[in-house]
Amino acid sequence: MAKDWKEEWRQKLRTADNAVDVIERGQRVFIGTACGEPQMLVKALVAKADSLADNEIIHTLSLGLTPYSEEKFTDQFRVNAFFIGPNVRTSINEGRADYTPVYLSEIGNLLEEGRIPIDVALIQVSPPDEHGYCSFGVSVDITKTGTEAADVVIAQVNQNMPRVLGDSFIHLSEIDYLVEGNEPLLEWPSVDPGTQTEADSIGRFVADLVEDGSTIQMGYGAIPNSVLKNLKDKRELGVHTEMFSDGLVDLVESGVVTGRKKTVHKDKIIASFCIGSKKLFDFVNNNPAIEFHPSNYTNDPCLIGRNDKMIAINSALEVDLTGQVCADQIGYMFYSGLGGQVDFMRGAARSKGGKPIIALPSTAQGSRVSRIVPRLSDGAGVTTTRGDVHYVVTEYGVAELHGKSIMQRALAMINIAHPKFRGELLAAAKFLRYVFLDQSDVSYRGLPYPQEFETYRTFADTQVFFRPIRPTDEEPLRDLFYSFSERSIYLRFMGPKIRMPHRELQSFVNIDYDTNMAIVGVVREKERLKIVAVGRYVLDKKTNDAEVAFAVHDDWQNKGIGTFLLGYLIRIAKERGIRTLSAEVLAENKPMLDVFYQSGVKVETTIEEGTYSIILHLQ
């Protein structure tokens, strides 16, 4: 500490008990956030409870002890939380404390404008540097703004608080009372929202949506940690987030996160606070690659949207079939808070190439309850509207909702629900008239979707994704049919065909993956998924023989896709012990005949009236 500040330090230094004596009855007291919570000052405040009355305690997420929320202190303290942590959840839902729902980006404005006045701020900071500046360390968020709005500032100065860079400093001259309190910072382990298997699957699906050069935002817990582990093969990622967690440290140290492709704060990790372990706190200490800023800056949707390829990954408690998200309530019980979810979802939606993602396990309460629901529970509020959600991810896949109709959304959401709930969700969707009343449920009564048959192949420098067909493929399959030339339709259907209505199409896309198997080839054109090929077989279980057929978009023919599709179907059929595959091909369809002859298995053919009957012997 420079000599210039020794006298000021000595004049302001107090014990914790003496410092909190300045707090008077009826005053509003702001307490710093999460792992930056000043535990010594909180204990001193509660010890003074007998001399206080009607004091409002204001904070966002609290991770430490909150004795002021206990019933015995009802006359002395009343909590007003901007975000509900586990330690104040009971008192809020019992009516002994308040919850103020507000986006994290807007809390700072409320405090600055005096809409929520603050008399005293209790904060925790690092020791001052040679210029007299202390860092807010692990919690800048609304702590800095709340401190600047307070009439009196009491700071616990802790040598264990890291010196974090950015817009994260307060000068000794702005602190009224100093309390030396060198104790370990609060640490917070990851919270597991489901089984590890669920989290791993969700992490893989989310990671697939993250392109090289993206900028990411996510929270903490099993799912974010799984996502981060699955990003280890990505390149040149950036970070713009509200919360920095342990999982990011490995990505930075391994060179996955560089920030070099960021369009805002290039080369810098931007965050507002961090929650995690001492390893994380040591990592952010005096690290020039990391900047912490107040929440009204980091969470500004306009700033977030200036990051190209901004990926916002957030969680939910339940999502309805239209895409409405509830993240802060379980029925009428308030569970967490609005936080920064909407800030980042809207920011990512504004971003060039951005993706707002909601990720959640498909079930809760030991798989007894579906998190994908026909409508949100009674009492549950909408945290994020259906218009703000672009992707929803569970352990069963990805539902892409942006720009989709209610029918498309409902089918996509049912498709990623737990299989045992899909039938009742479809029934509810029919009752609500979200889908066709005759919508088939075959896909939900058969075998599970065989994800093991997903694969990628490259044709003419374009990557094609091959996967089993899904109920949501009705529209792109219709587009494929109407893209065919009259010649292609004649050769494929062995005669003219002018329409492909829903009643026919749905039998193609709703299959049991057992007696009926279909593989589609999918490409993305201008952010729209397009089916360019489809192949299928239909099995007669009595004979163990199957009929096979396939078709390729006119623009994608003569590239080897038909050959690959037939070979892939042969492989699947062999694995399942099917005896033969049979087909009928017009004699004039020489390219199709060549595909069968070059299949690599024994081919038996007969011809009658210009049509070949083909049998492929598999076993």
Pick the catalytic residue from 37, 56, 198, 242. 242
Element spanning 562, H or E: helix 561-575
- Full DSSP string of 177-192: EEEE---PPP--PPP-
Q: Which residue has the tokens 């996955």?
A: 256
CA 281/CA 283 separation, integer angstroms = 5
CA 542/CA 539 separation, integer angstroms = 9
CA 386/CA 412 separation, integer angstroms = 14
Residue 134, C-beta contacts closer than 8 angstroms, at least 6 positions apart? 125, 126, 127, 128, 155, 157, 169, 170, 171, 172, 175
CA 105/CA 162 separation, integer angstroms = 24
Q: Is residue 52 within 8 Å of 29, Cβ to Cβ?
A: no
CA 307/CA 3 separation, integer angstroms = 43
Q: Is residue 318 within 8 Å of 222, Cβ to Cβ?
A: no
Distance of alpha carbon 181 from its chain centroid, rounded? 38
Structure tokens at 375: 């409508």
- CA-based end-to-end distance of the chain: 83
Q: Is residue 438 within 8 Å of 505, Cβ to Cβ?
A: no
Q: Which residues pair with 121 in a beta bridge?
A: 30, 153
CA 136/CA 133 separation, integer angstroms = 10
462-493 b/e (C-beta count within 10 Å ≥ 16 → b) = eebebbbbbbbbbbbbbebbeebeeebbbbbe
- Full DSSP string of 454-475: -EEEEETTEEEEEEE--GGGHH
Element spanning 406, H or E: helix 406-415
CA 254/CA 276 separation, integer angstroms = 19
Q: Is residue 481 within 8 Å of 473, Cβ to Cβ?
A: no
CA 288/CA 557 separation, integer angstroms = 54
CA 316/CA 359 separation, integer angstroms = 7
Q: By CB neighbour count within 10 A (0-12 exposed, 13-18 middle, 19+ buried), where does 368 fall?
A: exposed
- Catalytic site residue 253? no
Structure tokens at 567: 């070979």
Q: Is residue 256 within 8 Å of 262, Cβ to Cβ?
A: no
Give 499-556 as a 3 state SS string: CCCHHHHHHHHCCCCCCEEEEEEEEEECCEEEEEEEEEEEEECCCCEEEEEEEECHHH
CA 254/CA 246 separation, integer angstroms = 14
Structure tokens at 467: 């996967």
Catalytic residues: 242
